[in-house]
Amino acid sequence: MLNSPGGSVTDALAMGRLIREKRFATEVGAGKYCVSSCPLVFAGGVDRRAAEKATIGVHQMTVMRSASNGPPRDEMSVAQNISARCQRYLGDMGVSLQVWVHAMETPHDRLFVFKTDELKSLNLVTAAAGAPVNSPKTLPNHPGERRDP
């Protein structure tokens, strides 16, 4: 059950891949929220459920400057690399890349909140909230999902 304002995109990608590797389901309950980088974690679920009153939203990422006195970074290059990693990840999870388009079109100080029908049409949600979780033998096939032989 997720309820998060987001955080590090890199950490969200790692958590989402771990969730997929472990074949866990993800869910956002009624009155709960999953915003900013949290939908990347949510996308890792083999089964992804959101209650009707759940809030799932995205926006542009912000590249934070390092406090260290290390060599200067090209923030644009860093942002583009992270963006490419997010797109590859969403594709691997079977989620429409339109999710990422909404994120990149929404300023970092605003939030694009998905409507229930959008969550389903973009394949961000794969099952109705409260629906039983599929057993490992009946998992749905998601494009890019690796399965052990």
Q: 62 CB contacts (<8 Å, ≥6 apart)?
A: 108
Which stretch of DSSP H or E encloses residue 43?
A: helix 38-43
What is the pLDDT, as a whole number, of residue 38? 98
Comparing 6-20, 22-36, 80-94, 115-129, the range with the smallest average pLDDT is: 115-129
| DSSP code, position 2 | B
What is the chain's percent helix, strand, coil content, to nearest 5?
Answer: 35, 15, 50
Average pLDDT score, the chain: 86
What is the pLDDT, as a whole number, of residue 62? 82
Strands 112-113 and 33-35: unpaired
Torsion of CA 21, 121, 108, 53, to 10 degrees: -90
How many Å apart are CA 146 and CA 149, to the nearest integer?
9
Give the angle subtended at the CA of 106 by the CAs of 144 and 113, to the nearest 5°: 75
pLDDT at 142 over 90: no
Tell me the per-residue pLDDT of 39-97, one tens digit each, with 9 for 90 and over.
Answer: 999 999 999 999 999 999 999 988 666 556 566 677 888 889 999 999 999 999 999 99
How many Å apart are CA 128 and CA 70, to the nearest integer?
48
Does this model's pTM top 0.85?
A: no
At 49, is the secondary structure helix, strand, or coil?
strand
pLDDT at 135 over 80: no
